[in-house]
Structure 1
Amino acid sequence: MTNRIKIKFGQIEFEAEGDSELIEREREQFFSLLPQAMLSVSPSITVIEQPKPSVDILLDTDTPQQSLPTGQTYESLITFLKAKNFQSDVERVLGVAYYIDQIEKSGPVTAREIETKLLEARQGKPSNTSHVINQNIKKGYLYEHSEKKEGVKSFFVLQAGIDYCESYVPTDNTSKKKDVKLRKLRVTKESSLLQFSLDELNLEKYIDVSSIENFVEQALVIMLIYTNEKNIEYFSYLDIESVMKQKFKISATNRKVRYVFDKGGTKFDKKIEKGITYHRMLSGAIREAESIVTREQNKLI
């Protein structure tokens, strides 16, 4: 589609014909040169206030005409931002620039003006507004004005930015389920030996294990009890740690239990099943455990 644009600004006229991108580039160049052109026409003017030019856009008669978007009216910036519900700082900054430039007709805009407007609208301002503006420039939504405003850089909204704001569809957050990060629950494995009650172990035949001062000896006696009373052959580290802590109320850790078997050495038979290490009491470990029981029983006589 071929478009034509004609701009009249006092004695200065601008006219271009072509596609929308070409017209946009020509329009930007015209506005950048406009202050100098006005000085040459009216050299006596020292302060130039640039009113909004009247723009006549003419479409070729051989192409279907398209009506310009009429837009929606907003009572304030607050209602505008609420209606649009922009989701990112880049979108919000562009939206405020659009509101100042296109709705309030107060463009071009500065970073300071955008921040002030956001605060007035009770919106949080970006941590680095200039960076967000540069992101909009890279997207082709904003363009740096050739003239500074109040001594700082100023920007105006390009047609792509205008189209983006006017066609922006608000996101309905209420219809979306929030992503919930599920914390992985630590599965605590329990030893199968915990199923046996203390009454089933016939502890009266032995001694009070908690009265033994040495941790290694405590573990040996407990293994002897389960071997004799429940015919348990192989014990895992978890088995010993679990029954010592939960059944006999003895402070035990995996590290302490490992030391028992490391110290015992050849007194235990060792096997590994599905990545789990098991130990079985051999005759040397059984004799040592029995001697500990006998020793402690003799103390009570």
Structure 2
Amino acid sequence: MEEKSEIRVKFEIGEIKFEAEGSADLVERERSIFNNTLLPAAIDAIVRTRNVARSAQYIEAQDSQQPAILTTTNTVALPEQAVENSTTEFSRMSLASFVKSKGADAHYDFIICAVYFNEKRNGISSFSSATLKDLYSEAKKPLPNNLSMSLSELVKKGLIMEDVSAKGSTPKIYVLTLEGEEAIKNMHPAETKEKKTSSKPRKQHQKADSPYATINCDDLNLKQYPEVKSLKDFKEKMILILYIITNEGKGEWFTTTDVLCLMTDIFGESATKDQVNGVFKREKRWFKSEHVDGNNKLVRRKLLNEAKAFAQSLGVENVSE
């Protein structure tokens, strides 16, 4: 009977095995100890072991996937690399070649291109008139006679602005605006060639020969007159400029060369010899003409009352002659 009362119990729970043999009481006691003590401990050990294994496996998986991650990172970093390449390109390019690539021969175009180039190459975003003088010298380009007026016009156009961090400084400090950068991006040499063709007659040959080449616009009380840039017709611009010069006592006689100098170098307007002579020819009644002493081929003119009245009709108010 005792042999028949002995039992054998064996079971498995995953990787955990239990086996007992003996009397019913003995087997029950062993099973109770196993269930209450050994089994929880064994399960805890297995869980901890598996977590460590999973962590190691996860690390291995990460390592195995690292090339793909690096590839993604490299893709994201491409813009930064492009910036570095861009900086490198500027460091290997001269200011003159950059300006030429943009076709920026006009003074206004040159100024914004030069400060943009200086920012990209040297990391200097702000500039003053002194900075521009250095940039003009570097590009082997002659300075305009009225650099301060050129800067004022660029501010009005929204292409540059005063540096808010340097308000009140002397000389004024400027920075290129987003509109200025956009204008530079849209510049193309083909467009500038047309400007170049029309601008050649008005430059170089007149500046040295005109007594008006040294005029400073700050001395002309321009706030009392309509803004030349606001006028659309060439005749209106030309007559207003000659009226301002006459009315401010800076001179009253003008050759074609003098008019070109005033319009292009002093007021920053585009003009050709044919345009100026065209106004002189069409509006003969507005001018008194005479030959320059010692040169019967050279004619100079001054405004008569009808021309002055025309200038005043453009919006000149409270300006005494």
TM-score (norm 1): 0.35
TM-score (norm 2): 0.33
